[in-house]
Copies of this chain bind each other. A is one copy, B any other.
Amino acid sequence: MRRPDGEPVSGDFAVEERPLPSVGEGQLLVRNLYMSVDPSMRGRLERTEKHYTHNFTPGSPLDGRALGVVEESRCSSVPAGAFVRHQLGWRERAVLDVADTDGADRIDPRLAPLPTWLGLLGQTGFTAYVGLTGIAALHPGDTVFVSAAAGAVGTAAGQFARLLGADRVIGTAGGPDKCALLVKEFGYDAAADYRAEPVREALARLAPEGIDVYFDNVGGEQLAAALHALRTGGRVALCGMMSQFGGERRPVDINQLIQAVLKRLTLRGFIVRDHEDLRPEFEQRVADWLTDGRITARETVVDGLENAAGALLSLLGGGNVGKMLVRLGDSD
């Protein structure tokens, strides 16, 4: 196998059989039921090493968040039949070390459906929560703008922002159907199609008095537009820059950051795993909101490991609404 040269294509991926290691003391054999497909995987296909994760290695399995059922346990705290969330997705079965950080996190399937544990109640929802609260310091009454609003993090961020007291929530997405869904299902007051209208004009139209918080998933033109729309003292949570992977994109000048000087803006990049201190309040609040029916969990589910690479490519092309998951085997 080779590393993708620029945009990944389906020929860059293959399903292969590999022997499983035997299950040692303190380990679990898990059959995966769902696995998470994340935009951050795009960066991990690149050659350049990141500071916060490892990149994928050609010829070795991918990995990522998954949820499975324990088939065999050699660990007294996690019995066979339990459901665990872990990092060894992109395979049907995995042997996990319970003692590892992120090794296996047992979840209660009575509290929420299994997919939700990878979506609104998982890293996806937690990313939206941390970005809004810990990074952008959302205040009640704020006007909030979210890009890639129809994606997994965006659909969570819009709903959370509303429930956390935002006065007005605006999102951008690709295409009129997604925009309609944002308003209908995901707590957005207004949405704009970034393919149909310059985002700077859309923000001037939808938030004529400016925005206070920008949850950035894309960078580029939308970040620049937000810098112009932000009010004095505005905050930007920098969560990812998917537009960095768009080949023919016209670059946006970094000196648009002069807006940050003129308006005393704060921009903060974050990686969700630095903020585990916020997880208890996150789980409590989101579980309550789910129980009360105040938020909508929405997943785009693809069946079968053989379709997983296609699911990733579809995600990177914007083919999902909400969380993109692959369902493995006879999960239901």
Contact = CB atoms under 8 A, between A and B. Distances in A.
Interface stretch (A156-164, A168-176, A240-248): A240-248
A253 B255 contact: no
Tally of this chain's copies: 2
Contacts of A239: 261
Interface in A74-128: none
A132 to B, nearest CB: 16
B269 A257 contact: yes
Interface residues of A, number: 36
Interface of A: 50-52, 219-220, 223-224, 232, 238-241, 243-244, 251-271, 274
B262 A267 contact: no
Contacts of A261: 238-241, 269-271
B251 A51 contact: no
Interface of A is mostly: mixed
Contact of A252 (B253, B262, B267): B253
Contact of A257 (B238, B262, B263, B266): B238
A51 B263 contact: yes
A251 B224 CA distance: 14
A14 B251 CA distance: 40
A190 B254 CA distance: 26
A219, A220, A256, A263, most chain B CB atoms within 10 A = A219
Contacts of A269: 257, 259-266
Closest 5 CB pairs of A and B: A260-B269, A261-B269, A251-B253, A244-B255, A252-B254
Nearest to A227: B254
A232 B51 contact: yes
Given A264-B268, A268-B265, A241 B255 contact: yes
